[in-house]
Structure 1
Amino acid sequence: MAGTAAVEPLTVHRSGNPASPTVVLLHGVTDSGTTWPDLLAHWGGTYDVLAPDLRGHGSSPRFTPDQLPDAPEVMLADVVALLDAQPAPVALIGHSLGGLLALRAALARPDRVRALVVEDPARPTGARRPEPGFSAMLLGGTQAAITDRDAEVARMRRETPWSHTEIDAWADSRPFVDPEYLREGLFLGDAAWEEAFDALAVPTLLVVPPDAPMAPRPDGFDNPLVRTVVVAGAGHCVRRDRPLEYHAAVDAFLAEHAAGG
């Protein structure tokens, strides 16, 4: 459990039907709570959707200098606070960094998570400092999208199968990433991975591409609550690369578990 309490709450984007079961969406690094447009359009009013901007992203608070050395714990505390504020357990969905946070939140608050979906979650290494090359790559890509958005959008349309709405949302989120987080706070902490999946006490759907170096080893854990779906032809952003397959798997899982079924 996180030991570093965050002070300022996250910005949370709410959509869907407030009378429906609640789903919380946790985005990946350099994205924001606004980068789920196709999933929200697909669901319509099926769920009450809460999509926070993680700390250091979107319009949520930036990290203070004192928080950056404990960034993973601060981000987990943010997510746990959001879960604790809900009137009932939620379905929790995360991608990449958001997938790791969703997993850790489900471990910390199993009573607040009805069902968990993790899309190619980021595998922690135990590092307590950012990897300079990875940070530099993200900083460069973020700056490119800020400097010449049109060129970056055109490149993504050439190089990915993502929809125009997804690419536009992706590009629009880039100017709102805290560069100090990418430089000083982008590390994942505790290296437990297969052990974490073994410890899950909530129904879990792990959605991964065929080539998924970050995924837990199938022979590394044995938890009947964890179901794995491998989506052919997808990369790290499964829901953007293969939305029909992603929606089919996640819709079926949530229909089974989101409302307590």
Structure 2
Amino acid sequence: MAPPTIVLLHGFTQSGRSWAETVAALGERYRALAPDLRGHGAAAALRPVTFGTIGADVLGLASAERAERFTLAGYSMGGRIALDLALRDGGAAQARIERLVLIGASPGIAGDGERAARRVADEALAQELERDGIEAFARRWAAQPLFADQPPAVAARAHAERLRASPAGLAASLRGVGTGAMEPLWERLGELTVPVALIVGERDAKFRAIAERMAVDIPDVTVHVVPGAGHAVQLERPEAVAALL
């Protein structure tokens, strides 16, 4: 019997290769599909970059690989895309999703004013990418408090991957699937009919709080806190994430 399929969606500035250590730790337990999402990696030039088009890409990939049902997992941006896909079109995709795994992810920004401010900030960052190029952006992105405690080896690998990214692709991603562009899904969490796992790093206080809030409204949910990890759990503790998967 063929192993079950898991589709892994990467975060902003990453690519499918960011899952390599997690996939290796999964071994033969799963058939892992880790695509490059629009605006990133080999898909950097694909347009438009929207939640709808990326969701269609994910379902199309699964169908092409003859995976009628699959586990869908996403980290950060990839988690937001996975959640949007699960709830899009009245939750139709949940007929194909066996489990939903969200790593360091959120349902978006609930407040209109805060969301509008984030759109302005995302647009400014997109323009910075287009104007100044990838190196200046990569340094600024790595300096966020969210990544402050990353182990040096992890930070170096993440920085190297950012330097391979396309400025135009990342700018399109910010405009199309940035947190400011996302319609908030907080009020729709109760529509999730599949088992949901929320994975967060012990040091990631912001997203631990978000996960705890999400868990209140999701019918079938477990929350997993990975000891010693920060926001990028799958980069810092790939074996632990694989074990949870």
TM-score (ref. length: structure 1):
0.68
- Checking the alignment, whether the CA contact within 8 Å between 1:142 and 1:175 is kept in structure 2 is no
Distance 2:241 2:234 in 1: 5
| TM-fit CA distance, 1:134 | 4.7
Distance 1:42 1:130 in 2: 36
| TM-fit CA distance, 1:111 | 1.2
| TM-fit CA distance, 1:77 | 2.7
Higher relative contact order (CA closer than 8 Å, sequence separation 6+):
2
1:103 and 2:83 correspond: yes
Structure 1 unmatched ranges of 5 or more: 1-17, 153-157, 251-261
One-letter amino acid of the counterpart of residue 135, structure 2: A
One-letter amino acid of the counterpart of residue 131, structure 1: R
1:192 and 2:181 correspond: no
Q: State, as a whole percentage, how many aligned pairs show the same letter.
A: 31
Q: Secondary structure at the match of 2:17?
A: coil
5 Å matches for 1:137-216?
Answer: 143-144=134-135, 160-161=150-151, 163=153, 167-168=156-157, 171-172=160-161, 174-177=163-166, 178-182=169-173, 184-185=175-176, 186=178, 187-193=180-186, 195-210=187-202, 211-213=205-207, 215-216=210-211
One-letter amino acid of the counterpart of residue 33, structure 1: G
- Checking the alignment, whether the CA contact within 8 Å between 1:34 and 1:173 is kept in structure 2 is no
Aligned residues: 219
Distance 1:146 1:220 in 2: 34
Which whole-Å deviations, capped at 9, do the CAs of 1:4-53 have from their partners, x for residues lacking one?
xxxxxxxxxxxxxx932111110011111111121122122222111111
Which whole-Å deviations, capped at 9, do the CAs of 1:126-182 have from their partners, x for residues lacking one?
64796344565686697228999xxx9xxxxx9622656x84376235423314315
Q: Secondary structure at the match of 2:43?
A: coil
Deviates more, 1:223-232 or 1:44-53: 223-232
Structure 1 residues 112 and 142, CA, compared in 2 at 3 Å: closer, same or farther?
A: farther
Structure 1 residues 246 and 163, CA, compared in 2 at 3 Å: closer, same or farther?
A: farther
One-letter amino acid of the counterpart of residue 192, structure 1: L
One-letter amino acid of the counterpart of residue 212, structure 1: K
| TM-fit CA distance, 1:239 | 2.0
1:249 and 2:244 correspond: yes
- Checking the alignment, whether the CA contact within 8 Å between 2:6 and 2:73 is kept in structure 1 is yes
TM-score (ref. length: structure 2):
0.72
Question: Which residue matches 1:232?
Answer: 227
Q: Which has the higher helix share?
A: 2
Q: Secondary structure at the match of 1:215?
A: helix
- Checking the alignment, whether the CA contact within 8 Å between 2:19 and 2:234 is kept in structure 1 is no
1:91 and 2:71 correspond: yes
Distance 1:111 1:197 in 2: 16
Distance 1:20 1:246 in 2: 18
Which whole-Å deviations, capped at 9, do the CAs of 1:208-250 have from their partners, x for residues lacking one?
1341347244377343411111223322111223334333322
Deviates more, 1:25-34 or 1:120-129: 120-129
Structure 1 residues 167 and 37, CA, compared in 2 at 3 Å: closer, same or farther?
A: farther
Question: Which residue matches 2:145?
Answer: none
Structure 1 residues 143 and 43, CA, compared in 2 at 3 Å: closer, same or farther?
A: same
